[in-house]
Amino acid sequence: MATSTPSKPVTTLDEATVRFCGDSGDGMQLAGTQFTNTSALLGNDVATFPDFPAEIRAPRGTKAGVSGFQIHFSSNEIFTPGDTVDALVAMNPAALATNLSDLRAGGILLVNKDAFEKKGLEQAGYASDPTEGDGLEKYKLHSVEMTKLTRLAVEGFGLSVKEADRCRNFFAMGLVFWLYDRSLDPTLRFIEQKFGKRPEVAKANTSALKAGYHYGETVEAINTQYHVGPAKLPSGTYRNIMGNTALAWGLLAAAQRSGKRLFLGAYPITPASDVLHELSKHKNFDVLTFQAEDEIAAVTATIGAAFAGEMAVTASSGPGIALKGEALGLAVMTELPMVVINVQRGGPSTGLPTKTEQSDLFQAMYGRNGECPMPILAASSPGDCFDVAQEAWRIAVRFMTPVMILSDGYLANGSEPWRIPDLSELPSVDVEHPGPSLNGDEFMPYDRDERLARPWAIPGTPGLMHRLGGLEKQDGTGNVCYDPDNHEQMCKTRAQKVANVADDVPLQELDGPDSGDLLVLSWGGTYGACATAVHQTQGAGKKVSHCHLRYLNPFPKNFEKILRSFDKVMIPELNLGQLSVMVRSEFLIDTIGLTKVQGKPFSVAEIVDKINEVLG
Amino acid sequence: MSIDSPLPVLKPADFASDQDVRWCPGCGDYSILAQMKKMLPTLGTPQENIVFISGIGCSSRFPYYMNTYGMHSIHGRAPAVATGLKTCRPDLQVWVITGDGDGLSIGGNHLMHAIRRNMDLNIVLFNNRIYGLTKGQYSPTSPLGKKTKSSPMGAIDNPLHPLSIAIGCEATFVARSIDTNIKHLGNILKRGAEHQGTAFIEVYQNCNVFNDGAWEYAKSRDTKAETTLELEHGKPLIFGKDRQKGIRLNGLDPEVVELGKGITEDDLLFHDERSPEPSLAYLLSRMRNEDGFPEPIGVFRSVDKPRYDEQTNDQIDQATKERGKGDLETLFRSGETWKVA
Ligand SMILES: Cc1ncc(C[n+]2csc(CCOP(=O)(O)OP(=O)(O)O)c2C)c(N)n1
Ligand code: SF4
Ligand SMILES: [Mg+2]
C-alpha cells in the first residue's frame, strides 16, 4: 500500500525520535523493529535503542515489566538514538509513568486509553487517570482507545479476545506510520512472511495496521503529518543491521576470507546469545557451533579448535568471561590464535543482564592470573562490529594470540543502516601452517618470526609432533622449563609480542584539529554520543577534538602524542573510570572522567554539558 | 609423506618423546605409559594423527612423554579441549588422560557432557584414589574414613565410582583395567581405541608415594583371583582361585555363589557387553570388594550410538546440500535492502 495523498498538512523535519513502550507482552520490540526497517528503507539514517527488562514476563502491567524501543531517524547522518523523544507511544499507565520524563515539551503523546483503568493505574502508582486531569498539557496528548479499535478491526477473523488484543501493537504502528508518513509496505511484507502459515492472524494484523493508519488520516484531533526525508549517506546498497548480527557476519567473512572453517564455542548468556543463534543458522558456511555445558567448556573447546587449525571463536558476556579466565591464560601460553568476544552488560556478578555498560575493560586487560596480556579491540557502532570481528581475527593469526573484542548490550541490540560491502573490499587473512617435515629435524614450536609469532603447526602434519600446555615453555623448543631466566624472558616475549601489534594497526585518527583545549577520548559503544557532542561543541566554537579508540591494547603508536597535544583530556565512560586509570598509569597524563553506571548509554546533552563545564 | 611410500612400521620407541619421564620411581603411571606405547603401533595409525589431551595432575603429564601431538591443558578441562579438537578434526585419534581428581572433581561436568555426547574420544582415568600432584589430599574416589593431610579425622565424603558415573551418562564403551596387569591393560586400551564414540577406561593406578597399596587387594597374587573378576562377553561371571565361584542374580541384586552343590554355570549371570540397556553394566560397576564382591575388570559395555563429532559435521553437509555453499553476498543482501545513489 502506497502512502495515500495527504489529506492533512505535512510538516517536513530534519529528524525525529519516536519511542514505543508498553508491557513486555505488548510487542513493542516488534513495533520498534518494523518502524526502524521502514525508516531505513525510506533512506533515513537511523539509530535505535531497544530497552527491555531482564525478566521474560514480569507481572503484567507493572513498571518492572515495561519494554521500550526508541528510534532516531534523520535526513542527516546521525550517531545516537536521541536524548529525548518527539513522540511517545505508551500502551499502558506503567509505560507512561516510566517513560514520560524523556518526552520533550511539546512532544506527541499517544496513549492506549483502554489500558488506563483502575488496576493499571494502581500498578503504575497513579492515584487518578493522568490522561484526564491536568499535568499533561505540556504535551500533544492523544488518548486513543486502541484496544477497542483493534478489536473492532479484527472482528470476523475468528480470533479470541486474547488473540485480538495481540494485534494492538500493529494498530499503534499503523498510527505512528501515518504520523511520520511511512509506507506500510515493508510491514505488510513482514506480516505475510511471519504469519503466512496462519492466514487469519496475518489478516487480523494487516487489518489492525491499516486501521491505525486510517485512524490517523481521519481523526481530526491529529492535525499534522510529519515527513523526514532520506539522508545523504555514501552511495551503495544498504541494509539495517544489529551489532550482534554484524559481529556474526564479520566472523563468517573472516573465516571465508582466510579459508578456514569457523568454530564457535558458546554458552547462552544475555546479551551475547544472538551471536550463537546467528551463526547456528549458517552451518552451510562451514560453521561448527558448539553449545557447551558452561563457559569454561566453551573456551577450552575453542582452544581445542584452534589447536585443530580452524578459526576458533568464543563469545560471552562478563560473567562468562570471568569463568573463561584461567583458560584464556592457557590460550596466551599456548599462543594459539582465537577470538574472544565479550558483549558487556551491567555488572558485577549477574548485575543488569539486559542493560549496557563498559565495565569489563579492566577484566579484559588485567583479569587473568600471571603476566597475561592479549590484544583488545572495541567496536564503536553496530555496523563496526562487522569490521572489528575481521580485524580481531587478522591480529590473532598474525601474532598467534587470543584477541579480545569488547562489544556491549547497546551495540549488540542497537541497529543502524549498514552499507553492504563489496566482497573485494573485505580484508583477506593469509594463514600459514608449516608443512610436513620428513628429514627428522627437531621441530621448534616456539620458534618466532619478526613479529614474535610462533608457527601454527597442526595435528596431522607428519614430523611436527609437539606438545603444548600451560606449564612454562622453553623458548624455541616449547619443552616444559622451570628455569628462572627463561620464565622472565618468556613473560617479556609474550608481552612484547602483544606490544608489537601496535606496529601492525593504523595510526589513531582524530576528529577535529590536531591540538586544542580539550580532547574527548572515548572507546566502544559511546562513540555516537561522544561524536555528536563534540560536533555540537565544535559548532559552537570550542577548541575540542574527539579521539575514539578501537585499539585498547596495545594503544596506537601515535596515541601519546595526541594526548599531549591538548590542554585537557576528558574521558566519558560507562564505568567508574577504567580507561582513565589506564591512560594515567601508562602516560602519567591526568584525565577528567565523565562516568555513568546506570545501565543506560550517555545522552549527548550529558557530554555537551561536561565539555562546557570543563572548558568553563 | 608421499602416498606411494610404504607405511613405516612403528615401534613402541617411536612413540617415546625426548622428554625425561618425571613420575616418582615405582609409580603406576609408568606401566600405563609403557602399555600405551606398546599398543599404539598395533593400530597402524600414524603418529601425527594421534593427539593426547590431558588436564592437570601427575597422570596428566602423560602427553609430554608421547611422541604424538598433545596438550597438557588445565585442571579438569581436557574433555572439553578434546571436544573442540575432535569436532573440528574427526580424522584424528584423540585420547584424554585424566585423574580421579581431574576427571571427577573439578572436571566432572565436562566428563559427563563429553560422554553423553558420545564424542569419539578415548578417555583414560588413572584412579589412584588420591590427589598425587598436590601431595596427598583425599580425592573423590578416596574411601570413607580415608585419613590424609586434608582429612586427618577421616574422609566423610561418600566416594564416587568412575564407572558408575560413566554408565549413568550412558557411555557407549566402559572398561576397567589395572596398571600392573599389563597384558589386560594393553588389550583394554586397544579395544577402547577401536571403539567409535566415547571409550571410558578406568585404570587402577598405584600412587606409591601418597596412597601406596590402595589397590593391593586387586593386584596381589595372593588375593586378586578372589577380589577381581575378568569379564568376557557372552560368558558367565566366574571367579576365584579354582574358578569355583560365580555371580548370580537374586531378584535385582547380585550375589556370590559357590559352583557345585546344585548350582551350575547356567544359573549364573552371563555378561553381555552389547546389551542396549546400561543396567547390567551399572550393576557390575557397583560390585565392590568392600561389600564382599569381586571387582570386574574388562569391558563392561560396548554399544554403537551416533557420535556428536560425526553428526555436527553431517549437519554442515546437510545444510550445504539443502541451501548451497554459504555465499556472503547473498547473505548480506537477504532481507530488505535499499540503494543510495
Ligand atoms: C584450577 C586449579 N586448581 C587446583 C589445582 C591444583 N591441582 C593440581 S593437580 C590437582 C589434583 C590432581 O589429582 P588427580 O586428578 O587425581 O591426579 P593425580 O595427581 O592423582 O594423578 C590439583 C588439586 C590446579 N592445578 N588448578
Ligand atoms: S605422587 Fe603418586 S601419582 Fe604422582 S608420580 Fe608420584 S607416585 Fe605417581
Ligand atoms: Mg589421583
ipTM of the complex: 0.97
Q: What is the pLDDT of residues B243-270, one digit of tens each?
A: 999 999 999 999 999 999 899 999 999 9
Q: How far apart are CA A202 and CA A200, in angstroms?
A: 5
User: Which cell goes with A245?
Assistant: 548480527
Asked if the structure places residue A430 within a domain, the reply is no
Chain B: give the shortest CA distance to residue A561, in Å: 38
Task: Out of A228, A261, A284, pick the residue that ends a domain.
Answer: A228
- For a pLDDT cut of 90, what percent of chain A falls above it? 94
Q: In which domain, by residue range, is A58 found?
A: 10-228
Low-confidence ranges of chain B (pLDDT < 50): 1-2
Whole-angstrom distance between the N-terminal and C-terminal Cα of chain B? Answer: 56
Q: Which residue of chain A comes nearest to B67, CA vs CA?
A: A465
Partners of residue B71 on adjacent β-strands: A468, B53
Same domain for A79 and A139? yes
Task: Out of A409, A425, A441, pick the residue that ends a domain.
Answer: A425
Nearest Cα neighbor of A558 from A616, A478, A484, A503 is A503
For residue A393, with 0-12 CB atoms within 10 Å meaning exposed, 13-18 middle and 19 or more buried, which class applies? Answer: buried
Which residues between 242 and 301 in chain B have a beta carbon less than 8 angstroms from any beta carbon of chain A?
none
Same domain for A224 and A83? yes
Q: Which residue of chain B comes nearest to A193, CA vs CA?
A: B335
- Which residues have CB under 8 Å from A488's CB, separation 6+? none
Q: Which stretch of DSSP H or E encloses residue B245?
A: strand B245-250
DSSP per-residue codes, B32-58: HHHHHHHHGGGGT--GGGEEEEE-SSS
For residue A137, with 0-12 CB atoms within 10 Å meaning exposed, 13-18 middle and 19 or more buried, which class applies? Answer: exposed
Count of CB contacts below 8 A, A vs B? 218
Q: What is the pLDDT of residues A123-153, one digit of tens each?
A: 999 999 999 988 899 999 999 999 999 999 9
Same domain for A52 and A106? yes
Task: Out of A196, A228, A260, pick the residue that ends a domain.
Answer: A228
CATH classification number, B12-214+306-315, choose in 3.30.300.30, 1.20.120.1760, 3.40.50.970, 3.40.50.620: 3.40.50.970
Chain B: give the shortest CA distance to residue A396, in Å: 18
User: Which cell goes with A285?
Assistant: 558456511
In the block, which residue shows the cell 601431538? B69
Asked if the structure places residue A585 within a domain, the reply is yes
CA angle A520, A526, A528 (to 5 degrees): 90
A156 dihedral zone (left: phi>0; alpha: psi -120 to 50; beta): left
Relative to the alpha carbon of B30, which ligand is closest? 2
Question: How many structural domains does chain A have?
Answer: 3
Q: What is residue A515's DSSP assignment? A: S
CATH value at residue A216: 3.40.920.10
Q: Is the pLDDT confidence value at A53 over 90?
A: no
Q: How far apart are CA A265 and CA A277, in angstroms?
A: 12
Contact A437, A302 (CB under 8 A): no
CATH value at residue A365: 3.40.50.970
Contact A303 B81 (CB under 8 A): yes
Q: What is residue B104's DSSP assignment? A: I
Contact A61, A118 (CB under 8 A): no
Q: Is the CB of B59 under 6 A from ligand 1?
A: yes
Same domain for A222 and A337? no
User: How much is the pLDDT for A100?
Assistant: 97
> Residue whose CA is closest, atom 6 of ligand 1?
B134
- Confidence label for A77 from pLDDT (cuts 50, 70 and 90): very high
- Distance (angstroms) between ligand 2 centre and the Cα of B133 equals 7
Over its C-alpha atoms, chain B yields an Rg (Å, rounded) of 23
Q: Is the CB of B29 under 6 A from ligand 2?
A: yes
Tell which atom from ligand 1 comes closest to the C-alpha of B127.
Answer: 16
User: How much is the pLDDT for A134?
Assistant: 84
Nearest Cα neighbor of A260 from A216, A221, A305 is A305
Chain A: give the shortest CA distance to residue B33, in Å: 16
- For a pLDDT cut of 70, what percent of chain A falls above it? 99
Flag whether residue A211 sits within 8 Å of chain B, measured between CB atoms: no
In the structure, how many helices (H) and strands (E) does chain B have?
11, 12
Same domain for A554 and A413? no
Mutation for B interface: A75, A296, A300, most B CBs within 10 A: A300
Asked if the structure places residue A420 within a domain, the reply is yes
User: Which cell goes with A456?
Assistant: 601454527
Q: What is the pLDDT of residues B72-119, one digit of tens each?
A: 999 999 999 999 999 999 999 999 999 999 999 999 999 999 999 999
Contact B336 A41 (CB under 8 A): yes
Q: How far apart are CA B233 and CA B254, in angstroms?
A: 18
Tell which atom from ligand 2 comes closest to the C-alpha of B58.
Answer: 4
Same domain for A320 and A392? yes
DSSP per-residue codes, A320-361: HHHHHHHHHHHHHHHT--EEEEEEE-B-STT-BTTS---TTH
Same domain for A224 and A245? no
Nearest Cα neighbor of A38 from A186, A215, A148, A258 is A186
Q: Is the pLDDT confidence value at A6 over 70?
A: no
Q: Is the pLDDT confidence value at A2 over 50?
A: no
User: How much is the pLDDT for A440?
Assistant: 82
Nearest Cα neighbor of A109 from A117, A100, A118 is A100
Q: What is the mean pLDDT of chain A?
A: 96
H-type alpha helices, A78-167:
93-99, 118-123, 146-154, 161-165
User: Which cell goes with B183?
Assistant: 597384558
Q: Is the CB of B100 under 6 A from ligand 1?
A: yes
Which residues between 43 and 102 in chain B have a beta carbon less than 8 angstroms from any beta carbon of chain A?
46-49, 51-53, 56, 63-64, 66-74, 77, 80-89, 91-92
Question: Could you say which of B48, B72, B322 has the minimum Cβ distance to residue A465?
Answer: B48
User: How much is the pLDDT for A7?
Assistant: 72
Question: Could you say which of A37, A249, A290 has the minimum Cβ distance to residue B87?
Answer: A290
Identity (one letter) of the amino acid at B31? S
Same domain for A50 and A132? yes
- Which residues have CB under 8 Å from B222's CB, separation 6+? none
Q: What is residue A116's DSSP assignment? A: -
Reduced to 3 states, what is the DSSP secondary structure of residue B106?
A: helix
- Which residues have CB under 8 Å from A460's CB, separation 6+? B48, B49, B89, B91, B92
pTM of the predicted protein model? 0.94
Determine the distance from the C-alpha atom of residue B211 to the mean position of all C-alpha atoms in its chain, rounded to a whole number: 21
> Residue whose CA is closest, atom 5 of ligand 2?
B23
User: Which cell goes with B172?
Assistant: 557407549
The residue extents of the domains of chain B are: 12-214+306-315
Residue A42 with chain B: CB contacts under 8 Å: 338
Question: Could you say which of A263, A461, A462 has the minimum Cβ distance to residue B84?
Answer: A263
Asked if the structure places residue A468 within a domain, the reply is no
CATH value at residue A565: 3.40.50.920
Asked if the structure places residue A24 within a domain, the reply is yes
- Confidence label for A54 from pLDDT (cuts 50, 70 and 90): confident
- Distance (angstroms) between ligand 2 centre and the Cα of B150 equals 17
Q: Which residue of chain A comes nearest to B72, CA vs CA?
A: A469
- Distance (angstroms) between ligand 1 centre and the Cα of B20 equals 21
- Distance (angstroms) between ligand 3 centre and the Cα of B104 equals 10
Q: Quote the strand ranges of A465-609, DSSP E.
A: 467-469, 516-523, 544-549, 551-553, 566-573, 592-595
Contact B323 A284 (CB under 8 A): yes
Best mutation site among B54, B61, B125, B131 for ligand 1 pocket (most ligand atoms within 8 Å of CB): B131
Relative to the alpha carbon of B179, which ligand is closest? 2
Reduced to 3 states, what is the DSSP secondary structure of residue B72?
A: strand
- Confidence label for A99 from pLDDT (cuts 50, 70 and 90): very high
Reduced to 3 states, what is the DSSP secondary structure of residue A115?
A: helix
For A528-546, what is the mean pLDDT? 97
Q: Is the CB of B127 under 6 A from ligand 1?
A: no
Nearest Cα neighbor of A412 from A285, A283, A315 is A315
Same domain for A214 and A249? no
- Distance (angstroms) between ligand 2 centre and the Cα of B27 equals 5
